Amino acid sequence: MSRKMKWQSGGVAKWRNGPVPHRRILPFPPVAALVATLLVTTGLPLAGCRGDRSDNPPRQFFPDMDDQPRWKAQDRSEFFADGRTMRQPPQGAVAFGRSPVVADEPWAATYTLQRAQLLKDDARVYRGVDDSGNPLTTIPVEVTTALLDRGQNRFDIYCAACHGIKGDGKGLVGQTWSYPLPSFHDERFLPGGASGAEGHIFDVALHGFVGPTGRQLMPGYAHALTEHDAWAIVAYIRALQRANRAAIQDVPDSERTQLQGAPRPAPAAEGGS
């Protein structure tokens, strides 16, 4: 008797439309029974080995994986003359990082960046200098809104305490400094200024600033910032400088009303002021 017929003979004639009737067939379908039998006959003898004590050598299914020639960290080596198993990488060895991702798609960006950060083989991006070793006068990464947002976030955390939220040198810590801190809006920090090269600001952010007498006047923040963060800060300082010199005409119409204080009275009522 087929399974379907048996179900029908159980007295629920219209089970296809109504609730599924209580199953009154074998406890397992035949396939499950077969699998169970196989497990018992083949699996049990193996499982029986577990926990048994024996003086015989253990069974090895992949002996070449169990018994590999290898050294443990800090072990003594008979092979190397200096007796050390832990070797210095040969000169010029390149860090082994993520393999290059050959995809110019958004999902690959993280991997590409991780690899670049590991290798740090682009002097412009990672040291802020050009081929002759001079500080760059451009920002070598793409300046996007996301980069500026990141720059604002890092600047406010790591720089503003001394240099001020607007970069004018009047941060809470800056005000208590033994001498007035310079403002980033001084001519010398603007593009083309004596201390205004992008590569210089990048370098100061990461490694601090050493004055002419050789004294470290500002600590570096390389422990807290990646190179990309440092470029983000440089871009944000440029934005602060630009904003500081902006006229109301630079503000798009849509934003101007808000800046000048909303709601704005109708021009006629204001009497032209």
| Chain residues in the site for ligand HEC (CB under 6 A) | 158-159, 161-163, 173, 181-182, 195, 201, 204-205, 209, 211, 217-218, 221, 233
When the beta carbons of 173 and 243 are compared against ligand HEC, the nearer one is 173
When the beta carbons of 7 and 236 are compared against ligand HEC, the nearer one is 236
Write out the two tokens for 31.
């396939």
When the beta carbons of 32 and 157 are compared against ligand HEC, the nearer one is 157
When the beta carbons of 15 and 209 are compared against ligand HEC, the nearer one is 209
- Residue 161 CB, shortest distance to ligand HEC, in Å, is 5
Tell me: cis bond preceding 263? Omega within 30 of 0 counts: yes
When the beta carbons of 87 and 242 are compared against ligand HEC, the nearer one is 242
- Residue 67 CB, shortest distance to ligand HEC, in Å, is 53
Contacts (Cβ under 8 Å, ≥6 apart) of 154: 225, 229, 232, 233, 236
Among residues 89, 90, 88, 94, the alpha carbon closest in space to that of 121 is found at 94
When the beta carbons of 112 and 183 are compared against ligand HEC, the nearer one is 183
Report the C-alpha gap between 136 and 160 in whole angstroms.
24
Q: Is the dihedral of CA 193, 202, 155, 235 positive or negative?
A: positive
- Residue 134 CB, shortest distance to ligand HEC, in Å, is 15
**What values do phi and psi take at 193, rounded to 5?**
-75, 165
Q: Do the Cβ atoms of 224 and 158 come closer than 8 Å?
A: yes
Among residues 168, 138, 180, the alpha carbon closest in space to that of 244 is found at 168
- Residue 126 CB, shortest distance to ligand HEC, in Å, is 17
H/E run at residue 29: none
- Residue 130 CB, shortest distance to ligand HEC, in Å, is 18
- Residue 205 CB, shortest distance to ligand HEC, in Å, is 4
- Residue 66 CB, shortest distance to ligand HEC, in Å, is 52
Residue pointed to by tokens 């060895």: 93
Report the C-alpha gap between 29 and 38 in whole angstroms.
15
When the beta carbons of 101 and 218 are compared against ligand HEC, the nearer one is 218
Query: How many CB atoms within 10 Å of residue 21?
Result: 12
